[in-house]
Amino acid sequence: MNRLDPKIAERLKRNADGLFSAVAQQRGTGEVLMVAWMDDEALHRTLTTRRATYYSRSRQQYWVKGETSGHTQHVHEVRLDCDGDTVLLIVDQEGAACHTGTRTCFDTDILLSDSAE
């Protein structure tokens, strides 16, 4: 049963599978940690528990970040983007955010950078 506030639900733009993207960002530093998928129920669970809850497309089930790994995300703020197709979760990350064991999913392959090497 979808328990998401109807005022929020009507603003969301979902893909053909009823999903929208969710970006997790570290509170205080702004570090982008990961991108995952949510549906209305995952967002509802996140808003009510403050535990980042996502929807796994491959397993077709909900998962709470850190439930098995201990690498939890405590959610401090949730923002909806201007188009309504992405939410931003401002979190405190415990341990690795990436399933590969790294701090962030964006620290492996830098395709373009202005920083000196």
pLDDT digits 0-9 by tens, 7-40 = 999 999 999 999 999 999 999 999 999 999 999 9
Rg (CA), the chain: 15
> Residue 69: its pLDDT value, please?
92
Long-range contacts of 33-36 (CB under 8 A, 24+ apart): 33/73, 33/91, 33/93, 33/97, 33/98, 33/103, 33/104, 33/105, 33/106, 34/97, 34/98, 34/104, 34/105, 35/105
Domain locations in the chain as residue ranges: 6-93
pLDDT at 1: 55
* Model pTM score: 0.92
Fold adopted by 6-93: Ubiquitin-like (UB roll) (3.10.20)
Amino acid 98 reads C
What single letter denotes the amino acid at residue 107?
D
What pLDDT does 39 receive?
97
Residue 110: what pLDDT?
87
Q: Which residues of the chain have pLDDT under 50?
A: none
Q: What is the pLDDT of residue 23?
A: 98
Residues whose CB falls within 8 Å of the CB of residue 13, separated by 6 or more in sequence, listed in order: 20, 83, 84, 85
User: Among 3, 43, 1, which Cα is nearest to 19's?
Assistant: 43
| DSSP annotation of 14 | -
